Structure 1
């Protein structure tokens, strides 16, 4: 069990690093969180990405336009 966690930590760190680079978030911070918490940090990452979009575009900007 511990061996599996130790092997998966760098993988999640790398995945969060790439996703943070694509989302213009600080990549080292999210890589560290990915290594420490693994997939548990995904909802926090998605919320932060959404919040940065809202801050950049404004509250009244519609993301889904028909």
Structure 2
């Protein structure tokens, strides 16, 4: 179990670094969190990405227009 976690943590750090670059989030912070906690950071990353998008667009902008 520990072996799997030690191999998975740097890989998830690299993947979080790439995803943070694509989403205009601070990449070093997310890479460090990915290396320390592994894939457990994914819900936090998704929430932060959504919050960043909401702040950039504004609250009056709707994603689904009728």
Aligned to 1:35: 35
Gaps of 5+ in 1: none
TM-score, length of structure 1 as denominator length: 0.91
Aligned to 1:63: 63
Residues of 2 paired with 1:49 and 1:21: CA distance?
11
Tell me if structure 1 keeps the 8 A contact 2:9–2:39: no
Correspondence 1:15-26 to 2 at 5 A: 15-26=15-26
Structure 1 runs of 4+ with >6 Å offset: none
- Give the drift of 1:38: 1.1
Tell me if structure 1 keeps the 8 A contact 2:17–2:31: yes
- Give the drift of 1:22: 0.5
Residues of 2 paired with 1:64 and 1:34: CA distance?
32
